[in-house]
A and B are shown apart, each in its own frame.
Chain A
Amino acid sequence: MSGKKDLAFEKKRIAKETEYEYELSAIAKKFLPTEKNRLLFKTMKKVFGMDPMTGIDVKMYKRGGFHQLKSKTEFAKWGKQIAIERGLPAYNRAVGIPLGQRALEPYIISGTDIIVDYDDLHHVNNAAIQQMLDDIKRTVILNLDIPHQVLQVRAGKEITPETVNLYLETVQHTIGGGAVAQEHMAEIHPGLTADAYCKVITGNDELIDMLDRRFIIDIDKQYHPDRAKALKKAIGNTMFLVARVPTIAVRIGDGGVVYRWAAMQSSMAFISAYRLTGESIISDIAYAAKSAQLIQMGERTWFSRARSQNEPGGIPFGYVADFIQCFRDLPPRPFIEIITEDLEEGRKYLHRMAEGVGTIANILDELIWYGFYMSGGLGFSTGVAAGGYCGEVVTDFVDSVSELMHRYMQNVKKVPPRWDTVRWILEVSLQIMMETYEKYPSLMEFHWGGAHRVSLVGNLAGNTAAMLTGSTTVGLQGVHYAIGLLMKEGWLRTGWAGQEVQDHVGLAYSTALRMEEGGLVELRGPNYPFASYTAGHSAGLTGTCVSAAMARGSSWACSPVVNVAFADPHLKFDFARPSLAIAKAALRQFMPAGERDLIIPSH
């Protein structure tokens, strides 16, 4: 015996109220059959290979360490090989934490049957994630009306469908690094820039009929007819050129390369197609291309986090919402109508939203901006991002919340965007999610950090508020309330210490009319100063833009032309089925662009 006094509970006790509460525990067990039908039950069982509601892991410490995972075993082998070849140690499992004392569980990509290792989802290990980022960075949109006006007015040139088609054919050549006007311009091997091309977006059907179809992003084909109509009306008669600069260019330089490259090559194409020379007109054309109406995906970030244009920190949440193409084929109706009429139809929207926000928004901001640009080599944010698109967790949550919406909002036409109204929506949706974690120790283990849980639960709660009210501001307040106050008082724990900075500051900032505060969520981004260093909210904030658009029945969230620019089937990354692309990459089945095989020894 230790000889220490065990001082607990020696005195005789009177029966307490708490002891009668144990009945609740017994009653709760009667709901087990319902729980077992949940999607989450099935997925967690598959992931952990045992009853997902058990709180004990009998195999803990006995799973064989890091050898549980194929990826880590492969890493160890490679590490040894590299060390031998180069004479310097490399990856080495003998240093640091003894990994794999706990279960290193497989990850099921939501919406697929594909099972991957956790390390396959690190952005450096996943070619699809890299291509997604590259496809965003290398996109820039130029207004073609203005250069055409310059040509007509200053050069007296006739603009006809033939000349425009010639220009479009020429720009496919120049954008990939082909020369048109001068001798002895070093050219780029087309095999290295096969992913570079340009396409046209316009809302003018007559114009579309006159142009070569190959060069058009066909809005009617890509979108549901009602969405197509709304988008074409918003875009109007303007002709936009969506330029995709080669992936390899962005990898050598950065996002700042893109608009210059596109503007240069578009100007060269004009010069060639319209037989211009080194005259002052081309200065106007270049200006028109670079400045007059040039739509970049991202703007420069503040000095202390300085990055150029078209880099993740500078992309507004509204644009990220428009990158997401997951439900462009679905009718754009106010969400309350859909969910009250038909639960399954409503769930379809939610699942698509979950896929888009859970992958694209989460990855772009959590994994790439915070985990890479702002931090570095640590793999912490992979988990936070993966929480959004693995294990069918979000799917299960939205299924639960949508069932309540379907049942209780039958006679509701509109939910006013007021705090007092929205509060209960947040509380109800949040309780469901928090209780699920309490019921499923396996889920708790799967989302092992406060960062994962808080970002997922808080963001979803806020998105629920946005999708019923149509207000991104109220959605934002919901996210902050859910994370900084609601979750905190339930569990007395939140995220990673700095995560809730945004939530306490954010409530006061949400509607403030001050220089560093306020503004619509669509027009905020990771560069918004207090957001730039506090992770775990971007999916929620982008999600509110997507949700509010769903609530209104809008066909886009912030910019119709940006939305259409990503409805392009030629893009390497599939913005309509992002989970599948990422899963394929995890299985080494995704071929990215910009590879250098043509210019390096075979290996």
Chain B
Amino acid sequence: MTKEKKKIDYTPQIYPGAEPVSERRRKIMDPNRRLLKLRDIPDDEVVTLLGHRAPGSLYSSVHPPLDELMEPYDPIKLLVEPTPGARAGDRMRFVQFADSFWRPVIAPWLRARLYFNRFRGVDTVIYSGREILEMRERDVEAATRILIETELFDPARTALRGLTVHGHALRLDENGLMFDARRRYTYDKDLKEVVYIKDMHARILDEPIPVGRPLTEKELMQMDVTYRWDTRQYKSRTEILSVIARIAKFRINAGFKPDLMNGR
């Protein structure tokens, strides 16, 4: 029987660093902090952009709802709270984002950290030019709303992108938008907004969907989650560099002989 131990108050530290980029990374990862909402996108338009089903249509199922499923006894299955999509038996669908290299408001590894802190039932694969998020269909729709309505989305430099993801590392086009070989979005000079003319899978939309104005260079410099030579230089990030050097040292030495790093 485990002894009764005194519960302590643990304050998560999340991420090192004492300057705005680290602070921004912490904010994004911390589920207790609210993300700034920048725009409103109607539900139907989110569904249309994702392109997995027509708005208003039923969700496809891959198995019966959990309540109807006959499964052998397993207390763990009864313990963990399933998501709404899992409960209904939705198929697994995805949303995929590409984040430009140029002052991104979020970047692939930070996405993974965000997803695991703020969402449940997450499957993600982290590339350099894109990151996929797979969840049960209705759960991924809910997540997509957050991911495109808040400060995690810059219409010009963050993109919803299914196939053909090339472009994160390219120069921007004349309107400051990230390259897209499939031309899913354009800049509407009258509206002064980025408008999606194709869905995530590059199928042409019946009605274009505006997703808001591009953030200005000044705004992006404040919201950039990466270190840059001309704003916040990586070489000055002593705190972060100390932490990762420590991680490496532990891995090398404890990987050789676990007790070698006791107390260090």
What is A's interface to B at a CB cutoff of 8 Å?
1-2, 4-9, 16-18, 21-22, 24-25, 28, 54-58, 60-61, 97-99, 101-102, 419-420, 423, 427-428, 431, 434-435, 438-439, 441-442, 444-445, 447-451, 453-454, 477, 480-481, 485-486, 488-497, 504, 507-513, 517
Contact = CB atoms under 8 A, between A and B. Distances in A.
Contacts of A28: 229-230
B234 A490 contact: yes
Nearest to B255: A508
Contacts of B256: 508, 511-513
B170 A445 contact: yes
B179 A101 contact: yes
Interface stretch (B70-78, B85-93, B240-248): B240-248
B135 to A, nearest CB: 18
Contact of B39 (A6, A58, A448, A493): A6
Given A494-B109, A497-B127, A22 B221 contact: yes
B113 to A, nearest CB: 9
B193 A512 contact: no
Contacts of B41: 4
Given A97-B164, A492-B108, 12 more contacts: A7-B39, A8-B151, A60-B170, A419-B248, A423-B248, A435-B229, A485-B244, A492-B107, A492-B109, A492-B225, A495-B128, A497-B126
A435 B233 CA distance: 9
B37 interface: yes
A456 to B, nearest CB: 13
Contact of A25 (B99, B230, B237): B230
Interface in B206-221: 210, 212-213, 215, 219, 221
A448 B237 CA distance: 26
B245 A98 contact: no
B179 to A, nearest CB: 6
B20 interface: yes
B187 to A, nearest CB: 12
Given A97-B182, A486-B244, A492-B109, A57 B172 contact: yes
B232 interface: yes
Contacts of A441: 102, 171
Nearest to B226: A491
Q: Which secondary structure dominates chain B's binding surface?
A: loop
A493 B107 contact: yes
Contacts of A16: 20, 222
B227 interface: yes
Which 7 pairs show the lowest CB-CB distances between chains A and B? Answer: A450-B128, A508-B255, A492-B107, A507-B251, A435-B229, A57-B171, A492-B109
Given A439-B229, A442-B171, A448-B169, A508 B179 contact: no
A493 B173 contact: no
A543 to B, nearest CB: 19
Contacts of B120: none
Contact of A485 (B129, B183, B248): B248
Contacts of A435: 229, 233-235
Nearest to B257: A513
A497 B191 contact: no
Given A4-B210, A450-B128, A494-B128, A56 B173 contact: yes
B128 A447 contact: no
B231 interface: yes
A332 to B, nearest CB: 30
Contacts of A489: 237, 240, 244
24 contacts: A2-B193, A2-B210, A4-B41, A6-B213, A8-B215, A17-B20, A24-B230, A60-B170, A60-B179, A97-B164, A101-B180, A101-B181, A431-B233, A438-B228, A449-B129, A454-B128, A486-B244, A488-B109, A492-B108, A493-B168, A495-B127, A496-B127, A508-B252, A508-B254
Nearest to B150: A7
Given A18-B222, A493-B108, A510-B255, A102 B248 contact: no
Interface of B: 20, 25, 36-41, 99, 101-102, 104, 107-110, 125-129, 151, 164, 166-174, 176, 179-183, 191, 193, 210, 212-213, 215, 219, 221-222, 225-235, 237, 240-241, 244-245, 247-249, 251-252, 254-256
A102 B170 contact: yes
A101 B252 contact: no
Given A21-B232, A434-B234, A507 B252 contact: yes
A4 B251 CA distance: 50
A479 to B, nearest CB: 12
A496 B128 contact: yes
Given A427-B235, A438-B229, A491-B101, A60 B255 contact: no
A431 B235 contact: yes
A435 B237 CA distance: 14
B223 to A, nearest CB: 10
A490 B235 CA distance: 9
Contacts of B255: 507-512, 517
B20 A7 contact: no
Contacts of B240: 489
A61 B110 CA distance: 30
A4 B212 contact: yes
Contact of A490 (B102, B104, B219, B227): B227
Contacts of B226: 490-492
Contacts of B176: 56
B170 A444 contact: yes
Contacts of B247: 485
A354 to B, nearest CB: 22
Contacts of B252: 419, 477, 507-508, 510-511
Nearest to B231: A21
A450 B125 CA distance: 14
Contacts of B102: 55, 441
Contacts of A447: 169
Given A419-B248, A496-B127, A508-B252, A7 B229 contact: no
A223 B177 CA distance: 54
A384 to B, nearest CB: 12
